[in-house]
Amino acid sequence: MHLKFTNGPRTLSILLAGEWSIKTLPLIESEVQAVSFESVKMIEIDARQIVISDISAAWLIHDLEMRARAAGLTTSYAGNKPVAVQLVSQTLVAPVDNLALDESPESFQPITALGHQITERIAYWISGLAFIGELSMHLVRSIMRPRHWKPISIARHLYETGITAVPIVALIAFLISVITAYMGAQQLRKFGADIFVVDLVTVGVLREMGVLLTAIIVAGRSGSAFAAEIGAMRLNEEVDALEATGVNAIQSLVLPRCIGLVIAMPLLTIIADIVGLVGGAVLCHTLLDMPLTQYVQRVNESIAPSTFWVGLIKAPVFALLIAAAGTYRGMQVRSSSRELGRLTTVAVVQSIFLVILADAIFAVIFMELDL
């Protein structure tokens, strides 16, 4: 027990005892909260028997005094008020209670909230458009002045986003084409149309799946890396340091990533296409007992001259979308490490969304063009 009570006529004497330190604080706090001031006009705190070993303990004595005052009691100390408690009282002289209220959320006003949402959205679209504008401007400018290209930087990003992604892209392409062929074979076998499994795999992989899956993997790998890398540079003020040295951040950070990815993505797509066709061949050979010569012949028959190019042409577009979304989100990081995490997530989600949206638009265009 840290509080000992002696009830006098209308006066409650509280003798403080035991260890008063931050370690025993939770215990003492519950005792202080349980003190009842009923039918008392005055309290006297006697702290002469304890050693107040830290400021948190002193705060509790101060708190006890404040509670008593709030209940309309007069308070006094037996002997002098302890020095540490005096320090706490002096530190807290200015009232702070209503300041906390300033920060409490305002009552919900639907119209204001809607207005905020709309203006925020508009500002958000404008800044996105501004980024695209700036990026295209620099892109055009750097094409006209090859001196400004950053070959070392581009090569680094080509390596990191392209070459290191080859194993995972190949593995996924292989598995997806095996799955497609397997599912297709099960259905087509019912009609005795086993041979069309080859058409399914070839057209599916070359036109859609090769490039789309590559784009999704690249968005997850490189889109997030771009956002996190540039975001961390912003937090370290490295981007400001670049700008202050007269180096344009878009030119030196964003462009090499975009160019690197635009080169890497078509190459990855070609690898995915090849591995996908190999996967189809493996499955047709083992499951449908189709000779490899027949498979190759059927592949040749099933594709139009444009099939491969229709898939490949999408790769640089997807690459640009992923790189732009990643670097844009990275550049938006301002103040905190939490923002970095949030914007990295946004970068990945948006780049995947943009890729699929663009793919849908391509599908419509190619249909209209009869490709």
Partner 1 sequence: MNMSTPIPIIEALDISNSFGAQLVHDHLDMTVNTGEVFGIVGGSGSGKSVLLRTILGLQHPQAGKVRVFDRDLTSMAETEIHEVKASYGVTFQAGALFTSLTVMQNVQLPMLEHLNLSPRALDELAMLKVRLVGLPPEAAYKYPAQLSGGMIKRAALARALALDPRLLFLDEPTSGLDPISAAGFDELLMGLQKELALTVVMITHDLDTIFRTCNRVGVILERKMVSDTLVGIVNNPHPWIQSYFHGGRARRFGAVHGA
Q: Rounded to 5, what percent of the chain is helix, strand, coil? A: 75, 5, 20
d(CA 169, CA 191): 33
Q: Taking CB under 8 A as the rule, does residue 194 contact partner 1?
A: no
Tell me how far apart the terminal alpha carbons of the chain are, to the nearest angstrom.
Answer: 87
Selected from 34, 99, 152, 367, the binder of partner 1 by CB under 8 A is 99
How far apart are alpha carbons 19 and 37 in whole angstroms? Answer: 24
- At closest approach, how far in Å is the CB of 295 from partner 1? 56
Q: Are 19 and 59 in contact (CB under 8 A)?
A: no
d(CA 246, CA 315): 33
Residue 29 C-beta-side C-alpha neighbours within 13 Å = 9
Phi, psi for residue 105 in degrees, rounded to 5: -60, 140
CA dihedral sign of residues 300, 301, 302, 305: positive
In whole angstroms, how close is the CB of 67 to partner 1 at the nearest point? 11
Decide: is 20 part of the binding site for partner 1 (CB under 8 A): no
CB of residue 274 to partner 1, shortest distance in Å: 45
Instruction: Give residues 325-364 in contact with partner 1 (rule: CB under 8 A).
Output: 334-339
Binding track over 162-191 against partner 1, x by CB under 8 A: ------------------------------
If binding is defined by CB under 8 A, does position 21 make contact with partner 1?
yes
Nearer to partner 1, 75 or 89 (CB): 89
Site size for partner 1, by CB under 8 A?
Answer: 30
| 8 A C-beta contact, residue 312 and residue 333 | no
Shortest spacing between CB 60 and partner 1, in angstroms? 8
From candidates 73, 78, 87, 242, binder to partner 1 by CB under 8 A: 87
Distance CA 2, CA 368 (A): 85
* Closer residue to partner 1, CB minimum distance, 36 or 98: 98
Complex with partner 1: residue 25 or 346, whichever CB lies closer: 25
Which ranges of 104-219 does DSSP label H, i.e. alpha helix?
Answer: 110-144, 151-161, 166-188, 196-203, 210-218
Tell me how many degrees the CA angle 119-120-124 measures, rounded to the nearest 5: 115
Q: What one-letter code names the amino acid at 29?
A: E
* Interface characters, 43-82, with partner 1 (x: CB under 8 A): -----------xxx--x---x-------------------
Comparing CB distances to partner 1, the nearer of 63 and 359 is 63
Which position among 36, 39, 72, 102 is part of the footprint of partner 1 (CB under 8 A)? Answer: 102
Options 18, 29, 252, 270; binder of partner 1; rule CB under 8 A: 29
Q: Does 238 bind partner 1 (CB under 8 A)?
A: no
Should residue 267 be labelled a site residue for partner 1 when binding is judged by CB under 8 A? Answer: no
User: If you ran DSSP here, which 8-state letter would residue 6 be given?
Assistant: E
Q: Is 31 in the site for partner 1 (CB under 8 A)?
A: no
State which residue, 119 or 337, has the beta carbon closest to partner 1: 337
Residue 106 touching partner 1 (CB under 8 A)? no
117 vs 336, beta carbon nearer partner 1: 336
100 or 364, CB closer to partner 1? 100
CA 77 vs CA 18, 61, 114: distances in Å: 18, 11, 56
Tell me how far, at minimum, the Cβ of 108 lies from partner 1, in Å.
20
Phi-psi region of 154 (alpha: psi -120 to 50; beta: other; left: phi over 0): alpha
Cα 82 to Cα 14, 78, 89, 124, distances in angstroms: 15, 10, 11, 57
Please tell me the distance from the alpha carbon of residue 69 to that of residue 221, in angstroms, as a whole number. Answer: 62
Q: Which residues bind partner 1 (CB under 8 A)?
A: 21-22, 25-26, 29, 33, 54-56, 59, 63, 83-84, 87-88, 91-92, 94, 96, 99-100, 102-103, 235, 334-339
